[in-house]
Amino acid sequence: MQQTPSVGRVVHYVSHGTPARPDGSQAFRQECRAAIVTEVDKEDPTRVGLAVLNPSGLFFHPLAGGCVLDEAPEGARDGGSWHWPERT
Ligand SMILES: [Zn+2]
């Protein structure tokens, strides 16, 4: 399954967790956030611009320095990446 993202699709953006403390705990863990694709890199369609819908505000990620696809399982993804929403 390898869908190509297009403008207007809804994906998940992975928020950046806060740095791990010495004991390994984190004040804020990574979270999946709803995001709408605003731009798609024509040469590399896995790189997109996103409008991220955080619970308390919008966050815009233009294609310049955009978000890359990370299909690793939950917890192993890079903060700042995107993926297709998990099926539940
Ligand atoms: Zn997700």
Ligand 1: centre distance to CA 67 (Å)? 14
Asked if residue 3 belongs to a domain, the reply is: no
pLDDT at residue 1 in the model = 52
Q: What pLDDT sits at residue 65? A: 87
Domain count, the chain: 1
Label residue 40 left, alpha or beta by phi (over 0 means left) and psi (-120 to 50 means alpha): beta
Query: pTM value?
Result: 0.87
Q: With respect to residue 75, please indicate whether it lies within any of the assigned structural domains.
A: yes
Are the CB atoms for 38 and 59 separated by under 8 Å?
A: no
Kindly state whether residue 2 falls inside one of the protein's structural domains.
Answer: no
Assigned domain for 87 exists? no
Q: Which two tokens stand for residue 47?
A: 């790189």
pLDDT tens readout for residues 48-88: 999 999 999 999 999 998 999 999 998 899 999 999 999 88
Question: pLDDT averaged over the chain?
Answer: 93
Residue 65 lies in a domain: yes
Q: Give the distance (Å) from ligand 1 centre to CA of residue 85.
A: 5
Say if 38 falls within a structural domain: yes
Domain that holds residue 78: 10-16+29-82
Ligand 1 centroid, distance to 43 Cα (angstroms):
25
Place of tokens 């999946």: 32
Tokens coding 55: 């619970």
Q: Who surrounds ion ligand 1 at CB < 5 A?
A: 12, 32
In-domain check, residue 53: yes
